[in-house]
């Protein structure tokens, strides 16, 4: 057996707070992410509250979702919000009936207890139109559009906590050069306000890079440094998909250990990209006032065979669970700069939490990792030192293990350990400096195979199990299964 991994935890050297918004979700009008996944309509035989699935709401509530980014993605830059409000909805073909619009999204957000991250249409619409959308959402009924919302059955203004100023404007959001985008973004930032005194400010997110592109980062940050009173941003976005090489081609099921390892190289690539982009941001913003918002991330695989390729449907396996833990750990280690992230996407699309088919619903391995990581929301990062070692399979080399720790607001210390090695268990021996504890307990997520999945017929193939360990002589010792994720709280 491999030697135990010696980990040192020093609670006397806390780092930054891991912002709960790093555990955000993304729900785009794409495939069955909204229609079927969230919205079934009031007349559906599927149990619902005002058209929104009760089973999905119940499952999402347990994740304490901090924010949901909506309505896109690329969709946001072609979205006409007016077609999705009021009694007469204007469909855009069968795929977009517009029956789920602003009021339905806000109802959904309230049902799951999350904040709204609204991505406005900067690509194909105007600042006036986006400003009117905000008036519709956030103004009281003595404003014309607040009155329209009240007439549509929603007298109370909504809160918009986060505002996306375009999406991938270098490509689907309008194919804009960086300097052209910056001018547009400044105008939108200036003219868009929240009218709701209960949520007067909105975190404004500008478009940043994808891939290695740096010119957006330079232009956005240069502009921010010389900003005037009239506009501001709080974050710049970064999109990073784990694909094992573009275009998406890796199978979602039935893959081997090599493909497990190939995909798991990508969290390290994302870490590198965050470091590169953050270093550019540091030139203009050494105090890290502008957050990096990784507002699209996750595995993008080949579509499930037989599905409509445009729907971006894919299964979700234990490989996704390990990928999730490694990615969340990257964000935790960059907690001072990465203060927001949104996994793509919440339901039925790409690396989803939940899959649905008519009245059936199943929780994915990714869901379980998000659930296990809830204690890390707004907890303070505690640095760990350890030698991760290496795990090599089929010519692919990865770190053998990973681990992060944090202290929650109640003072409880949490540790997450991931065994990346698909064949051998791993033992962690954690020295706990500055933590008084006699035991650790929590949950572990492992699976018969790295490609194991949950299906509607077998929903618990990959499910967390309770786990506890003794702390003796200031040391926590725990052995975990191959390809597993474990989160423990010290008591
Ligand atoms: O998440 C799917 C798509 O990926 C989004 O619409 C777009 O922003 C990105 O390219």
Per residue in 75-132, pLDDT (tens digit) is 999 999 999 999 999 999 888 999 999 999 999 999 999 999 999 999 999 999 999 9
- Contacts (Cβ under 8 Å, ≥6 apart) of 250: 243, 244, 259, 262, 263, 301, 302
Asked if 119 contacts 73 with a C-beta cutoff of 8 angstroms, the reply is yes
Report which ligand 1 atom has the smallest distance to the Cα of 74: 6
Residue 325 contacts residue 416 (beta carbons within 8 Å)? yes
Burial grade of 476 (CB within 10 A; 0-12, 13-18, 19 or more): buried
pLDDT of 264: 98
pLDDT, tens only, 228-280: 999 999 999 999 999 999 999 999 999 999 999 999 999 999 999 999 999 99
Q: Domain 5-12+381-490 falls in which CATH fold? A: Immunoglobulin-like (2.60.40)
Give which of 5, 189, 162, 150 is closest to 70, Cα–Cα.
162
CB 55 within 8 A of CB 358: no
Largest interatomic CA distance in the chain = 71
Is the shortest distance between the CB of 296 and ligand 1 below 6 Å? yes
Distance 73 CA to ligand 1 centre (A): 5
Q: Which two tokens stand for residue 239?
A: 């999109």
C-alpha R_g of the chain: 22
Q: Do domains 5-12+381-490 and 20-376 have the same CATH topology?
A: no
In angstroms, rounded to a whole number, what is the distance separating the alpha carbons of residues 96 and 481?
44
Give distance in angstroms: CA of 141 to centre of ligand 1: 35
- Active-site residues, by number, are 168, 296
- State whether the beta carbon of 77 lies less than 6 angstroms from ligand 1: no
ipTM: 0.99
Ligand 1 atom 7: residue of nearest CA: 73
Cα 435 versus chain centre, distance = 30
What integer pLDDT is reported at residue 1 of this predicted model? 61
Protein residue closest via CA to atom 9 of ligand 1? 73
User: 322, 399 in Cβ contact below 8 A?
Assistant: no
One digit per residue, the tens of pLDDT, for the chain of length 491 reads: 678 999 999 889 899 999 999 999 999 999 999 999 999 999 999 999 999 999 999 999 999 999 999 999 999 999 999 999 999 999 998 889 999 999 999 999 999 999 999 999 999 999 999 999 999 999 999 999 999 999 999 999 999 999 999 999 999 999 999 999 999 999 999 999 999 999 999 999 999 987 667 799 999 999 999 999 999 999 999 999 999 999 999 999 999 999 999 999 999 999 999 999 999 999 999 999 999 999 999 999 999 999 999 999 999 999 999 999 999 999 999 999 999 999 999 999 999 999 999 999 999 999 999 999 999 999 999 999 999 999 999 999 999 999 999 999 999 999 999 999 999 999 999 999 889 999 999 999 999 999 999 999 999 999 999 999 999 999 999 999 999 999 999 99
Backbone angles phi, psi at 96, to 5 degrees: -135, 85
The CATH classification of domain 20-376, taken from the options 3.20.20.80, 3.40.50.150, 3.40.50.300, 3.40.30.10: 3.20.20.80
Report whether residue 320 contacts ligand 1, using a CB cutoff of 6 Å.
no
Q: Return the percent helix, strand and coil in the chain, to nearest 5.
A: 25, 25, 45
Tokens of 384: 């760990």
- Answer whether 148 contacts ligand 1 (Cβ < 6 A): no
Domain boundaries, the chain: 5-12+381-490, 20-376
73 lines ligand 1 (CB under 6 A): yes
CA–CA gap between residue 216 and residue 81 (Å, rounded): 27
Per-residue confidence (pLDDT) for residue 210, from 0 to 100: 76
134 three-class SS: helix
């Amino acid at each position: 057996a491999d030697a135990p991994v010696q980990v040192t935890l020093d609670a006397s050297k806390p780092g930054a707070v891991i912002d709960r918004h790093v555990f955000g979700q993304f729900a785009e009008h794409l495939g069955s992410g909204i229609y079927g996944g969230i919205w079934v309509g009031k007349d559906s035989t599927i149990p619902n509250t005002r058209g929104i699935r009760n089973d999905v709401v119940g499952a999402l509530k347990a994740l304490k979702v901090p924010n949901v980014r909506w309505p896109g993605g690329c969709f946001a830059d072609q979205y006409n919000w007016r077609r999705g409000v009021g009694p007469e909805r204007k469909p855009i073909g069968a795929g977009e009936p517009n029956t789920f619009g602003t009021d339905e999204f806000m109802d959904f957000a309230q049902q799951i207890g999350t904040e709204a991250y609204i991505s406005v249409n900067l690509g194909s619409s105007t600042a006036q139109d986006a400003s009117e959308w905000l008036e519709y959402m956030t103004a009281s009924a003595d404003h014309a559009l607040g009155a329209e919302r009240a007439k549509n059955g929603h007298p109370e203004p909504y809160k918009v906590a986060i505002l996306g100023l375009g999406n991938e404007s270098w490509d689907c959001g309008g194919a804009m050069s960086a300097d052209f985008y910056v001018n547009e973004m400044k105008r939108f930032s200036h003219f868009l306000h929240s009218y709701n005194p209960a949520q007067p400010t909105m975190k404004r997110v500008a478009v940043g890079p994808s891939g290695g592109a740096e010119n957006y980062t330079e232009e956005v940050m240069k502009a921010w440094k010389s900003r005037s009173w009239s506009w501001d941003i709080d974050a710049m976005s970064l999109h990073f998909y784990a694909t094992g090489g573009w275009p998406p081609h890796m199978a979602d099921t039935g893959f081997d250990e090599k493909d497990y390892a190939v995909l798991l190289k990508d969290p390290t690539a994302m870490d590198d990209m965050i470091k590169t982009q953050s270093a550019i941001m540091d030139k203009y913003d050494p105090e890290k006032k502008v957050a990096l918002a990784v507002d699209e991330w996750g595995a993008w695989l080949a579509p499930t065979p037989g599905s409509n390729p445009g729907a971006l449907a894919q299964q979700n396996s234990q490989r996704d669970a390990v990928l999730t833990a490694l990615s969340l750990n990257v964000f935790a280690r960059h907690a001072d700069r990465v203060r927001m992230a949104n996994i793509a996407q919440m339901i039925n699309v790409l690396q989803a939490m939940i899959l649905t088919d008519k009245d059936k619903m199943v929780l994915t391995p990714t869901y379980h990792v998000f659930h296990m990581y809830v204690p890390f929301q707004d907890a303070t990062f505690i640095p760990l030192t350890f030698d991760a070692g290496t795990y090599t399979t089929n010519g692919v080399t990865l770190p053998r293990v990973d681990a992060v720790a944090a202290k929650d607001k109640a003072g409880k210390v949490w540790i997450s350990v991931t065994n990346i090695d698909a064949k051998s268990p791993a033992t962690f021996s954690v020295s706990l400096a500055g933590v008084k504890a006699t035991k650790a307990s929590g949950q572990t997520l492992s699976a018969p195979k790295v490609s194991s999945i949950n299906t509607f017929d077998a929903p618990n193939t990959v499910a967390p199990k309770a786990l506890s360990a003794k702390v003796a002589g200031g040391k926590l010792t725990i052995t975990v299964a191959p390809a597993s994720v474990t989160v423990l709280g010290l008591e």
